Chains A and B, each alone.
Chain A
Amino acid sequence: MTCSVAIISKDNSPLYVLAADMDKETELQYNFHSALDIVDEKSSNTANKNFDSFLGMLYATELYKIYGYMTNTKIKFILIVDSLNSALRENEVRNIFRSLHVEYTNYISNPFTIPNEPIFSKSFDKNIRNICKA
């Protein structure tokens, strides 16, 4: 698995977190959480202009590159990629986000889904893992 994913509700609480490295889950979660600062910044700056869901790289640390994506309903997708994985181009990141968005849309289209509640669906988890592996 190459990347960690967090899906975050419009109220900024985590709906789904997939950590590439379970040992570092806490650190990754802190990174996801901090990334929200920049998502806030970016989304408020572009509020009036043509809004692109893909927010680009939010920030980088020595170890990670952190990318963001926000849907029109303010659901945020955050992707943490190992910074050694320089093969991953921005376009590919964009594609990952798009697949994540599609997956989330499918999930939320289920009439039994309660929006803004943490996601425990196994099939959803499986699908997200597949996206991240690819």
Chain B
Amino acid sequence: MNFKPLITYSGDRTLFTALQSKIEQAIPQDEIEWKRSYGRGAAKNIKLEAGFKSMENCKTQLENYNTQNYEIIKDPVLHLYVCECNDVDNYKSSLKDEIESWLKQLAGYGITDWMILIVETIDMRKTSSKILPRQNVIDKVRIDVGSKNGDRCVSILNPLKFENKATESFRSMINRMRHLMLTAFNKNIMKFEDIIRARREERNKENWNFITYFLLQEQLAFVLESLTLHSDALVQYDELEAIFNLFIHNSIYGEKPKWMKCFEQPLNSLRGITICKKDLQERRQKIVDETITIVEFKNYIFERQSILLNAMQNQWGIAQRLFPFLFSTLREIDSLRLETYNGTLSCWQFVNCLEVLNLCDCVIGTENIIKCSQYTASIWNHAKDKLYELGKLCGLLPFPGITTTSEQLHIIAQLSSSIGEIPEFDEEEQKEKEIRRSHSPSRKIQKPGCERLREALGSKEAFQKLYLELCELAISTYKHVSRLRSARFVGRDLGNFYCALNEPQKAIVFYIDLLRELKSEKWNVLVSQTLLELSNCYKKLNDNLNYTKICATISCCVDLEILVRTFYFDELLKSLKAIQPILDNSDKDSNNFVQFEDHFKLIDLQLLNNSPIIQDSVISVELKVESNFPREILCEMLAISFEITEKLPEKYTAPNEFEMLNFSIHLDYKQDNSLNCASVVSENKGKVRRTSSGKPDNNTPIIRMNFKNCLRKENVLLHPGINSIVLSTKAFEVGTWCFKQISCIFQKLDFLSKDITIKNKSFEITTKPSSASLHFSDLVAGIDQKMKLIISGGSFNFPKDSTMLLKCSKGLRLSLGNISDYQRTLAIKLTDFKLFEERTIELSALCELPCRREDTMIDQKVLLNCPWSESDIQIPLKFLPLMTASCRLHSSGNKKFLQVIVKSLYEKELILTDALMKCLADGVVITDLNPTSQNNVKVMKNISVSYLYEIEVEPLKTTNELPVISIEFNLMYAEIDKPDIIKRYICPFDVTDYNTLFYIKIKISTEEICRVGSICHLNLNITKVCENQHNDLMYEILYDQSIWALYGRSAGVLSMADMKETVITLDVFPLTSGFLPLPNVRLSKYIANSKTKNDNPKLIPFAPTQMYNATKSLQIHVLNNVDQ
């Protein structure tokens, strides 16, 4: 509504008329800051307009001013008194009285908003600038009206006469005028609001009329609008609408107020909204006349709201209000039980939708467009729905078999006329539209909604075109604001439309999009619906392959009724039969792939083998799968593929392996220190993530993975419900494997699963060589030694009764455990030897103790004959002899003695008992010379024990007869900690050269005492003890040259052939004093060169026992020379 605040003028009318246009123009030129009364929002810069009327013409309004009849729109806001007065005298004489009476008149009405404008024609300031300022008229006036109102009096230079000089004073006058107007408005609005409130309180009184009230409050809206306070103006309409809605709503329950009669008029015309001044005025007039229908009235409110929102550049607000407006109106029509022609309400809704959309089409800026689209998307959708309803009603649906009946033609004609005409815009509105359009010239100019509807109702083609356009816009707008689900939902309508159009190929795209969306969020009921629709499409298209697949899926939809499912199952079987040839040829592409999960549910996958699995053994897996098919199916093949994986199998992490998460308690206190809120705060930013979060990706196409490695079973009958199937294959390749995919082939349809996500889906195939080894430490020969035979079976499959043979080298024997059943070849039974078992077998080993002099190690070996290998394993062993023994022959004259030295090498103590020397030869007598105390001796390591025996050979037995005497030394021994286990140590010795052949004697003879440097005689006496063949002998005197000096031949050859005894005398003298050892003699067999001259004579020493040196180790006491 064009509303200009009204200002009355009084005083010099001609002068004002001259100024009026100038003032009217000046007021809206600049903005003024409006500080509203407290609580009314922030200060705002607004533009004012003003219209003028002489005060005489406003009598009634003036009278109403202070009454309940005050109307803010009609009543003047400010009263102006204009006069021209140049000198004070003039003022005093007449003007003063006139002003006073004017003020009195205003005061009579209770009006305080006035302004006095004194127009000066003479430029006083110019003349009086140098003289003392005289009191001028304006000051006088100000004094007269009182200092409080001084600012209501303004003087200006007459702008008509002093064009340039007057500018400043004129501008400040205009400013003052604006200011005073706003002051008045502040007051008037408050006052008017009070009046409105009072009126509203009376709403339950009998004669109260909503329409009157509406017109009253709307005035405030107009005023606020003119003051560019659009949002405040909007509030007025919102309030009015709310009150109206409440009235209508309450009318259901109680008596209807009288004024509601107006809104119970039949709805003959259901024109949609038009944002057009002419129409608005018409409607407002109808309101005033109380001839408006409810729809027109609601239209009017919405139109006004739209205009205000549009002015606020808040087009999305319009869109936001559309649905509440439409739906509340529909409900109100319903509750008032108003009858409408078939379809008119749909038309009305449709037109309104399109009008709002046209308004929103002007929006500029991405952010605004998105905001707008959040509402327009559903408006497009709604418009589409309404159009469809109309199409159905009017027989305009372009589906085969549908024709428009004459009755429907009639409806179309009726609707077309009730839609209304294209709104007539006045010039200003046209201009505004042009400006809007210039912001986005590329946008298509949309025809008014009523026009488009009329076109669509004109023909099936036009209808279809518009419907498809609306669908497309609804979908794209939904997508634009990323409401994908809603977009798919519209797509479903579009799909249904195409289906009905018999263009299923176009529909399929929409259904598939929808299906994907629904599947990913598991809306199973809707999924099955969509599947049914898809199956129709495929059937119509004769797309047997896809139809078959869809039938399979439908028959597995547990949400559907069993009858439907079995029907589709039968369809599946029929259709499968038909497409077998196609499936035969479709090996290359993925034609026969079907999603496993849509038909089956993998419940469990259990490896039946113990992990790890041995290479070349059979892997078996128990697959528990739930079949959703309504009947049993016989699958040609069920297979589970597995692939090698780098990753280690996931291990169960024990609870204590979890990282403790940091949480802390957080308490909020109120001001009075009482607890307000307690919370737990997680300090684990980024650490904590629910593993189940994240959308499962459902949109990957089905791919058949590599089934080179797979478990399989042929001809599997799958019953409805849970089936348990064991699949198996041979474990070929070593590694860590992971189950990947299930393939279930039913009549050449390949149901392929996604990646198997069941836990513990990995398993290991390994191979491990078998091995056997002996474990021991520091073996000692002669006593029982513990050993361990460790057999590690590895991946070898042992026959039930396999044995292992242990073969020992000579002198070594083994026995099982502690049983002293020593054998050289030991057979060990390996009964029930399991895979990877490690068995330890205790063994005892006994190595014969050889008679040895030296403590060198005894080498032994064991050969293991294992069931898994044909060749033996050789294990070398080294035994330390328990003890050593040596035997020596000693002579004393003709007597012979045997000394046996036994030395222990054993770490622990040994007990030696029952030493015995035996000789089996005749004529040899051995006499034990050992004391009885030596019968039981304990020895430590490295301790030697000697045993002494005399050996006598009968003289008759010559050396020739018995060159070697075999004797045997026997000794019993036991470990000190196992004294019961007594073993025998047998040492055979050979005794040779046991006869003494020669007897040697050395004597040094002096005259008296032997002294250093004095010559003595050394007598060497050699006696043949018994006859022998050694006649040629060589003697050598062996002496220390630092002790003895020798004269004569220290060596010589002699023959004892015929002699019994020989004496050789030599001269010697001692070189030093003391007890000196006598020189020694070595006697050797001398074998002269017999045949060839060149041969040197040979010296062969005698065995020590063949010579007896009677003076061996004798010493002689040598005194120092007296001379020295």
Interface set of A (CB-CB < 8 Å, partner B): 10-14, 17, 25-26, 29-30, 33-34, 36-38, 41, 59-62, 83-84, 86, 116
Do A38 and B483 touch (CB < 8 A)? yes
The CA-CA distance from A9 to B695 in the complex, in Å, is: 12
B523 within 8 A of A: yes
Extra A-B contacts (8), CB below 8 Å, given A34-B483, A37-B478, A37-B486: A11-B522, A25-B525, A26-B525, A30-B492, A33-B485, A34-B485, A41-B374, A41-B481
**CA of A26 to CA of B496, assembled, Å:** 15
Cβ distance A71 to chain B, nearest Cβ, rounded Å: 15
Cα-based distance from A64 to B1087 in the complex (angstroms): 143
Chain B contacts with A in 325-364, Cβ cutoff 8 A:
326-327, 330-331, 334
Cα A83 to Cα B324 with chains together (Å): 11
Q: How far is the CB of B353 from chain A (nearest CB, A)?
A: 12
Does B107 sit at the interface, judged by CB under 8 A? no
A84 to chain B, nearest CB (A): 7
8 Å CB contact of B485 from A13, A25, A36: A36
The residue in chain B whose Cβ has the minimal distance to the Cβ of A115 is B692
Within 8 A of A (CB), among B441-492: 478, 481-486, 489, 492
Complex contact B334–A26 (CB within 8 A): no
B249 within 8 A of A: yes
Whether the pair B692, A13 counts as a contact (CB closer than 8 A) is no
Please state if B484 and A26 are interface contacts (CB–CB under 8 Å): no
27 sampled A-B residue pairs with Cβ under 8 A: A11-B522, A11-B696, A13-B522, A13-B523, A14-B522, A14-B523, A14-B524, A14-B525, A25-B525, A26-B525, A29-B523, A30-B489, A34-B483, A34-B486, A37-B483, A37-B485, A41-B374, A59-B323, A59-B378, A60-B323, A60-B324, A62-B326, A62-B327, A62-B382, A83-B327, A83-B331, A86-B331
Q: Are B526 and A116 in contact (CB under 8 A)?
A: no
In the bound complex, CA of A105 to CA of B161 (Å): 86
Q: Closest CB-CB distance, B535 to chain A, in whole Å?
A: 16
B323's nearest neighbour on chain A, judged by CB, is A60
Q: Classify the secondary structure of B's interface with A.
A: helix
B251 on the interface (CB 8 Å rule)? no
Identity of the chain B residue whose Cβ is nearest the Cβ of A73 in the assembled complex: B690
A84 to B335 Cα, complex, angstroms: 10
Complex Cα distance, B326 from A59, in Å, reads 13
Taking a contact as CB atoms under 8 Å apart, the answer to whether A84 and B484 are in contact is no
A33 CA to B519 CA, complexed, in Å: 12
Cβ B521 vs Cβ A17 within 8 A? no
Query: How far, in whole Å, are A60 and B492 apart by their CA atoms in the complex?
Result: 19
In the complex, whether B785 has a CB less than 8 A from a CB of chain A is no
Determine whether B229 belongs to the interface, using a CB cutoff of 8 Å to chain A.
no
Q: Provide the B303-315 mask, 1 if CB < 8 A to any CB of A, else 0.
A: 0000000000000
Chain A residue nearest in CB terms to B528: A26
**A29-B526, A33-B518 are contacts. A116–B489 as well, Cβ < 8 Å?**
no
Q: Which chain A positions have C-beta within 8 A of B249?
A: 86
Residues of B within 8 A of A61 (CB): 382
Does B529 touch A at the CB level, under 8 Å? yes
Do B483 and A11 have beta carbons less than 8 Å apart? no
In the complex the two chains form, what is the Cα distance from A84 to B249 in whole Å? Answer: 11
User: Which of B324, B382, B481, B525 has the most chain A CB within a 10 Å cutoff?
Assistant: B525
- A34 and B485 alpha carbons, distance in the complex (Å): 5
B249, B521, B692 — most chain A CB neighbours (10 Å): B521
For the complex formed, measure the closest distance between the CB of B973 and the CB atoms of chain A, giving whole angstroms: 75
Which chain B residue has the least Cβ–Cβ distance from A65?
Answer: B327
CA distance A38 to B384 in the complex (A): 20
A13 partner residues in chain B, CB cutoff 8 A:
521-523
- A11–B326 Cα distance when bound, in Å, is 34
Interface residues of B (CB under 8 A from A): 249, 323-324, 326-327, 330-331, 334, 374, 378, 382, 478, 481-486, 489, 492, 518, 521-526, 529, 692-693, 695-696
B322–chain A nearest beta-carbon distance, Å: 11
Residues on the A chain within 8 Å of B529, using CB? 26
Task: For the complex, give the distance between the alpha carbons of A36 and B482 in Å.
Answer: 11
From known contacts A11-B521, A25-B525, infer whether A116 and B483 are also in contact, taking CB-CB under 8 Å: no
Contact A12 B330 (CB under 8 A): no
Chain A residue, CB-CB nearest to B518: A33
Shortest Cβ distance from A2 into chain B, in angstroms?
Answer: 16
**With the chains together, A33 CA to B529 CA distance in Å?**
14
List residues of chain B with CB within 8 A of the CB of A41: 374, 481, 483
Q: State in angstroms the CA–CA spacing of A37 and B327 once bound together.
A: 22
- When the two chains form their complex, are residues B484 and A37 in contact, meaning their CB atoms are under 8 A apart? yes
Contacts of A36 in B (CB 8 A): 485, 521
Nearest CB on A from B530, distance (A): 10
Q: Is the CB of B331 within 8 A of A30?
A: no
Q: Are A12 and B521 in contact (CB under 8 A)?
A: yes
Q: How far is the CA of A60 from the CA of B323 in the complex (A)?
A: 7
CA distance A37 to B692 in the complex (A): 21
| Residues B483 and A84 in contact, CB atoms below 8 Å apart | no
Q: Which residues of A contact B489 (CB under 8 A)?
A: 30, 33-34
Contacts of B696 in A (CB 8 A): 11
Most chain A CB atoms below 10 A, which of B481, B483, B529, B692: B483
CB pair B330–A11 under 8 Å, yes or no, is no
Complex Cα spacing A62 to B384, Å: 13
Among B484, B486, B693: residue with most chain A CB under 10 A: B486
Considering the chains assembled together, what is the distance between the CA atoms of A60 and B381 in angstroms? 12
- Which chain A residues lie closer than 8 Å to B484 at the CB level? 37
Closest residue to A10 on the B side, CB-wise?
Answer: B693
User: A25 to B523, alpha carbons, bound, how many Å?
Assistant: 12
Q: Which of A17, A34, A37 contacts B525 (CB 8 A)?
A: A17
Chain A residue at minimal CB-CB distance from B326: A62
CA distance A86 to B492 in the complex (A): 30
Known A41-B483, A60-B324; judge A84-B331 contact (CB<8 A): yes
B693: A residues at CB distance < 8 A: 10
With both beta carbons as reference points, the residue of chain A lying nearest to B484 in the complex is identified as: A37
Q: Which residue of B lies closest to A17 (CB)?
A: B525
* B728 CB, nearest partner CB in chain A, Å: 32
Complex partner residue of A116 from B331, B525, B692, CB under 8 angstroms = B692
A25 to B529, CA, bound (A): 11
Looking at A33, A41, A60, which has the most chain B CB atoms within 10 Å of its CB? Answer: A33
**Among candidates B323, B526, B695, residue contacting A26 with C-beta atoms closer than 8 Å:** B526
How many angstroms from the CA of A37 to the CA of B331 in the assembled complex? Answer: 27
Q: Lowest 5 CB-CB distances: which A-B pairs, in order? A: A13-B522, A37-B483, A12-B521, A34-B486, A13-B521
Question: Once bound together, how far apart are the Cα atoms of A38 and B696, in whole Å?
Answer: 21
A34 CA / B524 CA spacing, docked (Å): 15
List B contacts of A12 (CB < 8 A): 521
List of A residues within 8 angstroms of B324 by Cβ: 60
Q: Which residues of B contact A38 (CB under 8 A)?
A: 483
In angstroms, Cα B693 to Cα A33, docked, is 20
Residues of chain A lying within 8 A (CB to CB) of residue B521: 11-13, 33, 36
With contact pairs A41-B374, A116-B692 given, residues A30 and B483 touching in the complex (Cβ less than 8 Å):
no
CB distance from A34 to the nearest CB of B (A): 5
- Is the pair A11, B695 in contact by a Cβ cutoff of 8 Å? yes
B331:A33 contact, CB within 8 angstroms:
no
**CB closest residue in chain A, given B478:** A37
| CB proximity of B493 to chain A, nearest CB, Å | 10
Alpha-carbon distance A86/B328, docked complex (angstroms): 10
In the complex, what's the smallest C-beta–C-beta distance from B247 to chain A, in angstroms? Answer: 13
A130→B754 CA distance, assembly (Å) = 41
Contacts of A34 in B (CB 8 A): 483, 485-486, 489
- Contact between B327 and A60, CB atoms less than 8 A apart: yes
B681 to A: closest C-beta gap in Å: 14
**Which of chain A's residues have a CB closer than 8 A to the CB of B522?**
11, 13-14
Q: Which residue of B lies closest to A30 (CB)?
A: B489
Residues of B near A86 (CB, < 8 A) are 249, 331
Chain B residues with CB below 8 A from A25, complex form:
525
**Chain B residue with minimal CB distance to A28?**
B525
A14 to B374, CA, bound (A): 25
Residue of A nearest to B377 (CB): A37
Q: For residue B326, which residues in chain A have a CB less than 8 angstroms away from its CB?
A: 62
| In the complex, residue of chain B having the shortest beta-carbon distance to the beta carbon of A83 | B327
Report how far A29 CA is from B330 CA in the complex, Å: 24
Nearest Cβ on chain B to A13's Cβ, whole angstroms: 4
